[in-house]
């Protein structure tokens, strides 16, 4: 499946948002995720089904000031 993740195209076999995060080595409770501009809460990632062409944004906090 072809997905746009943080502005980059990825060809990946993941079918859920949780599988995608694992495949791309994202981990932790501090992530924020959105699919096609809609926020997806952590509790819903395992059952959130992805579709070919989805745009996913994965945000993580950064230190600094």
Residue pair 57/4 in contact by the 8 Å Cβ criterion: no
What digits encode the pLDDT tens for the residues 24-41? 998 877 899 999 999 999
Q: Is CATH 3.40.640.10 the right assignment for the domain spanning 2-59?
A: no
What is the percent of the chain with per-residue pLDDT over 70, rounded to a whole number? 94
DSSP per residue, 21-46: HHHTT--STT-EEEETTEEE-GGGTT
> Is pLDDT above 90 for 65?
no
Domain boundaries, the chain: 2-59
This prediction has a pTM of 0.89
């Amino acid at each position: 499946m072809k997905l746009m993740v943080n502005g980059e195209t990825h060809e990946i076999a993941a079918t859920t948002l949780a599988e995608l995060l694992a495949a791309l080595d994202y981990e932790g409770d501090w992530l924020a995720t959105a699919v096609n501009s809609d926020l997806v809460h952590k509790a819903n990632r395992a059952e959130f089904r992805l579709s070919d062409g989805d745009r996913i944004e994965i945000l993580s906090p950064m230190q600094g000031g």
